[in-house]
Structure 1
Amino acid sequence: MKPIGLFLLFLLFSLKCFSQPDPSLFYPGRILEITKELQYQAIQEDSSKYHALLWERAEMQVSLLVQSNVSTKRTDSTATKQLINDLNYLIDRDIKIGEGNFQTTKLDFLLNRGIFYSQSTNYQNALSDYLQIIEMDSSGRFREVALYRISITYFAIGNIDLALTYVDQILDENTSEKKFDNLFYACESGSSLINWKISILEKSGRKKELIQLYRKLIRQNRKIGWHDNAKCFSEGLKSLKEQ
């Protein structure tokens, strides 16, 4: 099973006419099916099938928590206890599911447990899991999502400086590798890393820093010929100055 991408957990769209159904609508039913299968069918504990079912259920449960944006403190305690027990089981035993480049490993489980802790407002445990991912991830495949989650967590705690530090780290690394799409693509969509930094500055009332950022973005986008983005950021700057 492929790991959850950077924005998969955070950009869940409303259903529209003629659109494809949101797959998360089927998660509750599938979670019940898995629970019954684990309880009533002859599945050998610690088998590959057992591991795969635990992970499938845990991943869907975490996705639903994020989509609903509800703290686990206000949800069914039995379900949340079962979820954290499943993730602890997979992490403590260093379980591996599948093979090849997209093998599911401890890094996937740590990411989901960190998100669970964030939903529980257990921010220190969440940070510990994200930092462990960065330390263990020799391929760098999870680095960006872990740094992003750290930035989100520090923002939730109220540490704006560290929230900015970690998003800036992602942006600096992307710039050095010329991954400009992640920096400037789709200004209006609100889904880029730059827009996350803008959101931090807006919500923390750092108007002077935000003005400087807008001016920098306008220059950079004009330089590389992305005039729609430059116009979009110019409008943002104009609106900010009028406030």
Structure 2
Amino acid sequence: MPSPSSVTVRPAPGFPAPRGGSGRVLLLPGLAGGARIWQPLAARLRGTCDVYEAALPWNSGGRPDWALSGDPVAALGAAIDGVDGGRCDVVVAHSYAATLALHHLARRPAGPPPALMLISPFYRAHPTDFEWSDITYYLNDFHRILEAGLTVRSGGRVSGELLRDLGARLREVIGPYGWMRFFDAYLQTASLDLSAWPGPVVVVAGADDFAARPSDAEALSRHLPHAVLHVLADCGHFPMAERPDEVAALLLAHCLPTRDQELR
């Protein structure tokens, strides 16, 4: 169940000994995501900062009953607080986790705000931005999002009938309750007040993302006071794996500018 007690945070593979100081980066995967999807980005950050990953209830290999009760936003907050005694400098959240991060922002957590990189967020600014066709699209085509993730994680080695079978199996693991958690969080973004968030935010979207459409990222960047938007051409729902060099450069330049200057 998504509660703070079910969250664990650890250094990412290849980052066994945090060095302390500035540059603590937490990677948060989306629904049914996992550590593998972050490996290309993490490889580009090696030697520049400390990188952590969180085992969240809705990630690949998590508990199948996570969606039945509990508070996913509180679980995400616990992951952020679990980085080096609550001293997280940058939160990098993807897809569903990016949307949950928006809910976390709206709760005005105490303490100095971390910098944020929100990758492929699901966001609508107003309730009227949702239509019945959105429910049909995200329900009936949900498997396509899962298949896209499997394709990226496998480096394109999984395709055809096997890809469709694995996507359908993963959809069954997530189940109706998991999908409802995702879509409810998406719907509720239209009621969030993000205007007072004081920290820097980088919003990253893929121009070819058919899941979290670039228009969502564009709307979000207009409603966060310190946000910068980057839409990457020839990129889908997983920029951190599809375009890791550019995402790493954006993170260092906007979220860890001191580290970026030291490397020049």
Is the shorter-chain TM-score for this pair beyond 0.5, marking a shared fold?
no
State the structure with more CA Rg: 1
What interval of TM-score do these two structures reach, taking the shorter chain for normalisation? under 0.3
TM-score normalised per structure 1: 0.28
